[in-house]
Amino acid sequence: MKPADPPKPASGPTRARAATLTDVARLAGVSVATASKALNGRSQVRAETRVRVQEAAERLAFRPNPLARSLLAGRTGTVGLLTSDLEGRFSIPILMGAEDAFGAGRAAVFLCDARGDSIREQHHVQALLERRVDGLIVVGSRTDPRPSLGRGLPVPVVYAYAPSSDTDEDLSIVPDSVGAGRMAVGHLLACGRSRIAHITGDVNYLAARERAEGAARAMGEAGLHLLEEPLYGNWSEGWGRAAATMLLDRHPDLDALLCGSDQIARGALDILRERGRTVPDEVAVMGFDNWHAVTDGARPSLTSVDHNLQEIGRVAAQALFQAIDGRMRRGVELQPGRVVIRASTVALG
């Protein structure tokens, strides 16, 4: 069969429309169904036909619609992104990273915010399943384990930031908080500090306890100890001011304050300034979270550990795609953070 002429470009000032599967089928002289099977690598098509269809697709610069491709594979090309806390500043970068990975033409994202309410979450899960999503990402607002959505769901689920409590069955992508604490102390030690105290947030947060554990371990490995046990409180500037005041009274010779969040660190910086202690010459200060609204306005600008949250979102999205393709990983995977060095630990330039 002689291939037909390719479709003529549209006339007039508008650009030629993109070639469709119908155009490819016409040019290759086959049915649309056959062209589809050939391009999707199904085995029911003769090799000779497949080559002819592929040549036609190339000649027309045919780009298969990702949605159409998903539908051919029995999928909807949609995924659900279930967050417990849209307002929370940790959820957003994770959503962005996931949306980034999905947005590359691979899937459209249904967004649902459960507002920390498990009834609402169940409602959203049901609504998403009724819409036949191909998979779900569940984004938490803190790193403490959360209940699994269960083993009975018809689609794969990946947990991000807050791990599932069912670690045998579910896959969770979470920040490495012990590693973050270790990394922070490593930076302070590298800056020549040794009389280090740790002020941190609410002891009910696993992230607070794990960062403290990592910090203590890194001190131990250097043959040192923190000046005293970590001071747990809450995540506010006010607590940072109060705790820094106490520590300066008890340990006038301290040379570094490691703070469990940027806001705590901001409070500590204000007290050091008011007491005339220079930062970083006399006392180095660092925080966690790398929250620019706080780190950049501080005097001096604040060194902080960034948890690479967008990367957590991207990795979770990629793991979900793999799971949809039948390759489900399980367990808890830790994503490392990084120290962003600013003027509160090192006299820069």
331 binds its own copies (CB under 8 A): no
Residues 131-160 that bind its own copies (CB under 8 A): 131
Please say whether the beta carbons of 288 and 268 come within 8 A: no
Contact 42, 74 (CB under 8 A): no
> Between residues 179 and 267, which has the closer beta carbon with respect to its own copies?
267
Quick one: tokens of 140?
A: 């938490």
Can you give the C-alpha Rg of the chain in angstroms?
27
Decide: is 128 part of the binding site for its own copies (CB under 8 A).
Answer: yes
Two structure tokens written together for 46: 């003769």
Residue that is written with structure tokens 């250097």 in the block = 222
Applying CB under 8 A, the span of 53-61, 84-92, 187-195, 224-232 interacting with its own copies comes to 84-92
In the list 54, 236, 245, 322, the residue contacting its own copies (rule: CB under 8 A) is 236
Q: Which is nearer to its own copies, 103 or 147 (CB)?
A: 103
96 binds its own copies (CB under 8 A): yes
CB of 311 to its own copies, least distance (A): 15
Take residue 166 and report the two structure tokens written for it.
């069912």
Q: Residue 102 or 205: which CB sits closer to its own copies?
A: 102
Query: Is residue 110 a contact residue for its own copies (CB under 8 A)?
Result: yes
Q: Which is nearer to its own copies, 113 or 311 (CB)?
A: 113
Bridge partner residues of 48 (DSSP): none
Alpha-helical runs (H) found in the chain: 21-28, 32-39, 47-59, 66-72, 91-103, 118-130, 177-190, 206-221, 237-250, 262-274, 292-295, 309-324
**Single-letter amino acid, residue 311:** E
Assess 124 for contact with its own copies (CB under 8 A): yes
Enumerate binding residues for its own copies (CB under 8 A). Answer: 65, 67, 78, 81, 86-87, 92-93, 95-96, 99-100, 103, 105, 108-113, 124, 127-128, 130-131, 236-238, 263, 266-267, 293-294, 296-297
